[in-house]
Amino acid sequence: KGLDCSALVQELLKFNNIYCPRDSKDQKKFFKKKISINNIKKGDLLFWKGHVAIALNNKKLVHAFGARKKVVIMGIKETIKRIYSKSKLPLLCVKRIKKL
């Protein structure tokens, strides 16, 4: 058991009094403001098919990763490469949360 990626994002945002849907596909639809990967800031959400992470700054992110759903901090570039190399899933988009 553990916390999956979308539940982690939902809980982090709930802690900051920000509503967030439960599933990553719904989170991707709910948050509208797309931004460039070159402009990532703290609180931005990074989306892959079936996965989401939250940026800690422009170099690091936090997400629930792997079969054991461990919450880990990783480099953004490293994570994008790792997810693509293991699952062939490209980063779909980055969304900004207005209130953060």
* Average pLDDT over all residues of the chain: 94
Range of the domain at 22: 5-96
- pLDDT score for 90: 98
Structural domain total, the chain:
1
The β-bridge partners of 47 are: 52, 93
**Residue 51 confidence (pLDDT) above 80:** yes
- Pick from 5, 1, 2: nearest CA to 89: 5
**Tens digits of residue pLDDT in 22-43:** 999 999 999 999 999 999 999 9
pTM of the model: 0.93
% of the chain residues with pLDDT over 90? 88
**Considering just the CA atoms, what is the radius of gyration of the chain in Å?**
12
List strand residue ranges (DSSP E) for 5-91, in order: 33-35, 45-48, 51-55, 60-65, 70-75
pLDDT of 100: 66
Q: How much of the chain, in percent, has pLDDT values that exceed 70?
A: 98
Tokens representing residue 43 in the block: 């609180």
Return the pLDDT at 1: 61
CATH number of 76's domain: 3.90.1720.10
